[in-house]
Amino acid sequence: MSAIHIADIDVSYDNPQVLGPLSLKPLSLELMAGEVVVIIDKSNCGKSTLLKRVGLRD
């Protein structure tokens, strides 16, 4: 059984001139209890947006 299960979330914004029409493509993720996960990618790719969307960052 997973500790965290994220299914098909995406994030888009109304103002495409600021952040583009789609900020985070659909994503699914399953994390098991005790598992350590690192999210790494280039700047402005949606890492913080993902954490905010699932409630792990303000």
Enter the tokens of residue 16: 């495409």
The answer for residues whose C-beta is within 8 angstroms of residue 53's C-beta and 6 or more apart is: 9, 11, 24
Would you kindly state where each structural domain of the chain is located, as residue ranges?
4-53
**Global pTM value:** 0.64
pLDDT (0 to 100) of residue 7: 92
pLDDT (0 to 100) of residue 40: 93
What is the mean predicted confidence (pLDDT) over 29-58? 86
pLDDT of 19 strictly over 60: no
Looking at per-residue pLDDT, the higher value among 23 and 57 belongs to 57
| Contact indicator for 33, 46 with CB cutoff of 8 Å | no
pLDDT (0 to 100) of residue 38: 92
pLDDT (0 to 100) of residue 20: 58
